[in-house]
């Protein structure tokens, strides 16, 4: 799934992005070094880290020490069927130092950039109905006009069965956070930089990585259950579960859980059926999986219901938070120091939010 972005996936859960020729590559490397400097105490840059892939320095293959790669977090890794969209943001996709020729080349690629403020560079959407991916490239994005951009982007949120309004709502919230950051900073301007949107396309199985262990949550609708209902079916004994203070989970539960859970599920109101998810959130440190009290087979009685609730139900107050969605800023070969707000990027973000909100409302 990284082919869309032209980067290599590394087995350790990072991606390798080859450094572009100077000045672009070194500029991007310098940007990451600045933001991720261990001595950094600038709150603007520290907050910016929340919106970027994590950066792990540079890497070179032993056979070609002059080939430099940026080692970055693979934002798609925690998804089973990641749906990915890359949207270039801003009114200008050329930087202030671009030659007349470069400006002409960029403008001719998408004359509407100034007016729309963003451009879809590509998308890859998983269709549940056909169990296959649909891919669109830059030509698709460049063919979009003011009139068709809304429909063009809504394609990304369509599973083949339905429009994923939960994902759109969650995406809007995340883009709004990035907009807030831009409204509060006057030290960096971004050109030809993108937002990467990723969400879970699969509703059949949600995979959760615990170190090297992969747990699949399978769903099926047994006969005699309310329509729209679904029950977790565990094929083997599953080794998850254990609520620690910080809400992380691990441990070992036998197959009796399946029945217990099914009974409990029936008594839940129907509106929660679509929001069921076994949600195990990864945290910064790898040591969050430290063990505390296990819920074992013998303890599966009434008094652990609250802990099981925590484990099995992710039932937010508002459904819009239930979607597993990532929105990250990527591509920093044209980031420059500044002393003004980045009005072009802000314009693009606001326009994109408006389009997303229109898709959601209609």
Percent of the chain's residues with pLDDT above 90: 64
* Tokens describing residue 92: 């200008």
> What are the beta bridge partners of residue 158?
163
The CATH classification of domain 75-203+322-361, taken from the options 3.90.1150.10, 3.30.470.160, 3.90.100.10, 2.60.40.1120: 3.30.470.160
Break the chain into its structural domains and give their ranges.
1-74, 75-203+322-361
> What does the pLDDT average to over 260-270?
33
Distance CA 113, CA 361 (A): 24
Sign of the Cα pseudo-torsion (101, 106, 111, 115, in order): negative
* Tokens describing residue 39: 């001595």
Mean pLDDT of the chain: 75
Q: Dihedral angle at the C-alpha atoms of 231, 232, 237, 240, nearest 10 degrees?
A: -140
100-145 pLDDT tens trace: 999 999 999 999 999 999 999 999 999 999 999 999 999 999 999 9
Write down the pLDDT at residue 204: 54
Is the pLDDT reported for residue 10 higher than 60? yes
Contact present, 180 and 48 (Cβ < 8 Å): no
Write down the pLDDT at residue 6: 56
42-92 pLDDT tens trace: 999 999 999 999 999 999 999 999 999 999 999 999 999 999 999 999 999
Distance CA 273, CA 195 (A): 31
Q: Mean pLDDT check: name the lowest of 28-37, 76-85, 268-277.
A: 268-277
Tell whether omega for the bond before 23 is within 30 degrees of 0, i.e. cis: yes
158-210 pLDDT tens trace: 999 999 999 999 999 999 999 999 999 999 999 999 999 999 999 754 444 44
């Amino acid at each position: 799934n990284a082919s869309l972005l032209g980067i290599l996936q590394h087995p350790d859960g990072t991606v390798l992005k080859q450094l572009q020729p100077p000045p672009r590559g070194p500029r991007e490397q310098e940007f990451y070094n600045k933001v991720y400097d261990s001595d950094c105490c600038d709150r603007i840059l520290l907050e910016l880290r929340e919106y970027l892939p994590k950066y792990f320095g540079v890497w070179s293959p032993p056979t070609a020490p002059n080939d430099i790669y940026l080692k970055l977090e693979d934002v798609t890794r925690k998804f089973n069927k990641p749906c990915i969209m890359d949207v270039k943001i801003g009114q200008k996709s050329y930087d202030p130092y671009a030659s007349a020729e470069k400006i002409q080349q960029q403008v001719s690629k998408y004359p509407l950039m100034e007016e729309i403020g963003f451009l879809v560079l590509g998308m890859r959407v998983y269709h549940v109905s056909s169990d296959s991916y649909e891919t669109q490239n830059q030509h698709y994005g460049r063919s979009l006009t003011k009139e068709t951009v809304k429909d063009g982007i809504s394609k990304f949120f369509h599973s083949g069965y339905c429009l994923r309004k939960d994902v759109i709502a969650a995406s809007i919230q995340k883009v709004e956070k990035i907009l807030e950051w831009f409204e509060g900073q006057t030290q960096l301007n971004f050109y030809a930089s993108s937002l990467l949107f990723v969400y879970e396309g699969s509703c059949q199985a949600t995979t959760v990585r615990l170190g090297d262990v992969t747990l699949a949550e399978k769903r099926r609708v047994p006969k005699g259950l309310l329509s729209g209902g679904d029950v977790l079916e565990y094929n083997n004994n599953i080794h998850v579960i254990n609520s620690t203070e910080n809400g992380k989970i691990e441990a070992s539960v036998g197959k009796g859980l399946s029945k217990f859970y099914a009974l409990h599920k029936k008594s839940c109101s129907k509106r929660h059926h679509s929001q069921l998810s076994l949600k195990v959130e990864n945290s910064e440190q790898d040591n969050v999986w430290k063990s505390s009290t296990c819920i074992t087979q013998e303890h599966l009685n009434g008094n652990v219901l609250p802990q099981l609730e925590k484990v099995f139900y992710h039932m937010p107050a508002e459904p819009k938070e239930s979607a597993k969605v990532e929105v990250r800023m990527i591509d920093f070969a044209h980031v420059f120091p500044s002393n003004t707000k980045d009005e072009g990027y802000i314009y693009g973000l606001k326009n994109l939010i408006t389009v997303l909100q229109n898709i959601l409302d209609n």
